[in-house]
Structure 1
Amino acid sequence: MKKVSLCSFFCFLCGTVFLAISVPVSALDSEGQEAKDEGMRLYNIHHSTAALAYLEQAAEGGDVEAMYYMGEAERRQRMGSMTRAALNWYLKAADHGDPYAMLRLFQGGACVAGDECPEGAEGWREKALAETLPKAETGDTDAMLALYHIYRLLDDSGEGVEWLEKAAEAGNPEAQTRLAKNIINGQGWYFFDSSRQNAALEWLQAAAKQNYVPAIVELSEIFVEQGDFDNAWEWGRLGSELGYVNLRNRVGWCYLNPEELEEMSVEGLCPVEQDKVKGWAILRAVVEEVGDRDAKGILEDNQGVLTSDQMREAERLSDELVGRQPELSDFIPRFGY
């Protein structure tokens, strides 16, 4: 396995995970909800093609979030390019008030190139603003968060930041995480770098206390950069338990072969006692559950590390781990950059 940086191997995908704003939808029956859940599971481990059939069932049942993700899955299959299929699903979601679908329609040039313009608004950004602002003014924190993106695409980042801060202060974990990342990247005025980092850490910890995985991932990486490996491990272990694939791999690798991992990333990253059986079981379960290539590569590089008795015990333990809730995910951003 080639040498990789800690950031490239473990860092969270750019952006944050966003929740759907509440809009009137048709309640799914149990079969439709199961289809949606499976579609989202597949989508969040980058199996967009396989997710389509399940998401479509939920979308046809009236679920607006599934409509939006049908658009996302279709678009991701074309490396982010707008397709007619994606356009049609975004239009359906937008018709039910989904602001992120409207922003995708703006970004994809639906009004200019596709002649699909909203009624009663200058464009899709403007329609998103008109429909989302009243919800935010009544205290809907998801709407506040959406306004951050809407204003950003309207080239009014100052107004957007104000709404982002309001959402964070109201306890929205996505907004808290986005705000923390913005502070790290230079937002706001801080006399000392340490003050800037402390401010970001406070927001991340507020989100992490709500078990918001993207915040937990950020915290773990910050503590790695600071050389605080005990805190990095504790947050990383929690992120692993909550289902983040890369952190699950890190935990498994630390148990299986800590020297190998530290040689390829950061010395001191694994402040735990080696447990080859446990490490192999964790990584094998990841492979069995989602077919992760990184986990598979680690196991291939460590063939022969376990005795035959240890291997049997690892496989038994692995079988117990497969499918254990919460399910594994890459926590793909709802509205990335």
Structure 2
Amino acid sequence: MSTHLVCALLITALSSSAFAQTSLEQQAAKEQGLILYNQNKAVSAAPFLTVAAEAGDHEAQYFLGECLRKKNHYMNAEARKWYEASAAQDDLYAMIQLGRSEKNLCELSQDCPTRKKAPIEWLNEAQRLAKPKAEQGDAEAMFIMYQLTIDQDWLEKSANAGNAIAQYWMAIGEQEGSGVFLLPWKRSESIAKWLKASSEGGYPKAMMAYVAVLYKEGDMAGVRHWLEEVAKTGEQNAVSTYGAYLTHTPDRVGYPLDLVKGYGLVSLLKELDGGGSAQVYLEEKLPEIAAKMTPKQIKEANEFAKNWKATHPPLSFFPDKLSR
């Protein structure tokens, strides 16, 4: 084998290794950015998402646009740039956000960005891409069509096709009066049906809503099961509620007393510093639980929290992907 060929192969191998390493770093940055974004820490998330966005990751570009729009409270030039980069890769969510930006606060300060397409053009493009997939039975595409048209039929089709988010919104819509039910209890049955289906599909918001339905019905065994299941997803309210009920502060659903596990779970909310109202709850609840514990139990609880964090998804508020 010639020296030139050996050198060429070596350079190729080294380049491939460097590319793979960079990709791993970009993916790790994206994942960290999404964790922070889902904890309502958009400002902290932006630098991490930027790493992956600049490498061309359309999902990172979309969420970076979300971070920048939320930070500035309107569709500024920087946010639009990343939405457009994502939309250029056929990201339907980015197209919808661009399509929703008809009127913005930037008009008051007269610094609106130059648009590649008008909002209606982005919405039309999203519909052009989504409709064929929806007509072929793609449940997410059906949900996208609902977002684009506000046609309830698309939402129901998506829900019937198994989209957990669509199932959740079917339930919410019926709770707010949509749909026709000749008998009042049929509405309640339908709401519970959709929430159960969405919960079984793994959607945390539906799980929490279903817990409330089961509690109202007096099904404490169901409440205990689903509250534990949703806590395992990292839903921050579920984690804190599950922990409080385990420590009987208060005892509302009949869990056996477990101070170690309960304290450990509630203490996880520390990582939400700066995200929502979790810190206020934490500062009140942890001392209340600790007053019932020995120093040894608190040490065990801290170890439990460490192990839980290593084996479960990060805490999250699970914000809607298509936020306003």
TM-score under structure 2 length normalisation? 0.82
Q: What is the SS of the residue equivalent to 1:322?
A: helix
The match for 2:78 is 85
1:318 maps to 2:311:
no
Amino acid at match of 2:199: A
State the 1:144 CA deviation: 1.0
User: Is residue 136 of structure 1 aligned with residue 134 of structure 2?
Assistant: yes
Residue in structure 2 matching 1:331, options 297, 304, 318: 318
The separation in 1 between residues aligned to 2:159 and 2:289, in whole angstroms, is 44
Corresponding residue pairs, total: 293
Note the C-alpha offset of 1:319.
2.9
Instruction: Output the amino acid matched with 1:127.
Output: E
Q: Which amino acid aligns with 1:43?
A: Y
Counterparts in 2 of 1:326 and 1:165: CA distance versus 1, 3 Å: same
TM-superposed CA distance for 1:196, in Å, is: 0.9
- RMSD value, Cα: 2.5
Change (3 A) 1:76 1:300: farther
Aligned equivalents of 1:183 and 1:275: distance in 2? 37
Offset at residue 248 of structure 1 (A): 0.5
Shift in Å, 1:250: 0.3
Q: Partner of 2:35 in structure 1?
A: 41
Q: Which amino acid letter does the alignment assign opposite residue 177 of structure 2?
A: G
CA distance in 2, matches of 1:110, 1:184: 31
In the TM superposition, what is the alpha-carbon distance from 1:333 to its structure 2 partner? 0.7
Q: How does 1:61-140 map to 2 (within 5 A)?
A: 61-78=55-72, 80-109=73-102, 114-118=113-117, 122-140=120-138
2-structure distance, mates of 1:185, 1:92: 37
How far off is 1:117 after superposition?
A: 4.9
Give deviations 1:60-95, integer Å, cap 9, x for gaps. Answer: 2221111110111112223x4222211111111222
The answer (yes or no) to whether the contact 1:254–1:272 under 8 Å persists in 2 is yes
Instruction: Using the TM superposition, give the Cα deviation of residue 208 of structure 1 relative to its aligned residue in structure 2, in angstroms.
Output: 1.6
SS across alignment from 2:310: coil
Shift of 1:334: 0.2
Distance in structure 1 (CA, Å) of the matches to 2:228 and 2:167? 21
The AA in structure 2 aligned to 1:165 is E
With structure 1 as the length reference, what TM-score do the two structures score? 0.79
User: Is contact 1:117–1:123 with CA below 8 Å preserved after alignment?
Assistant: no
Identify the residue that residue 7 of structure 1 maps to in structure 2: none
Identity %: 28
1:203 and 2:194 are equivalent in the alignment:
yes
* Structure possessing the higher relative contact order (Cα contacts under 8 Å, 6 or more residues apart): 1
Match of 1:4 in 2: none
**Alpha-carbon deviation of 1:41?**
0.8
Identify the range of structure 1 (66-75 vs 213-222) with the bigger mean alpha-carbon deviation: 213-222
Other-structure match for 2:296: 309
Match of residue 285, structure 1, among 244, 255, 268: 268
Give deviations 1:100-153, integer Å, cap 9, x for gaps.
Answer: 22222232227996451527x95332232223222222322211111111112x
Alpha carbons 2:140, 2:158 under 8 Å: kept: yes
Listed as ranges, the gaps of 5+ residues in structure 2 are 1-19
Cα distance in 1 for partners of 2:288, 2:78 equals 42
Q: Can you list the C-alpha shifts for 1:309-329, whole angstroms capped at 9, x where unaligned?
A: 322332333332233222221
Higher helix share: 2
Write the letter of the residue equivalent to 2:144.
Answer: A
2:147 counterpart residue number: 149
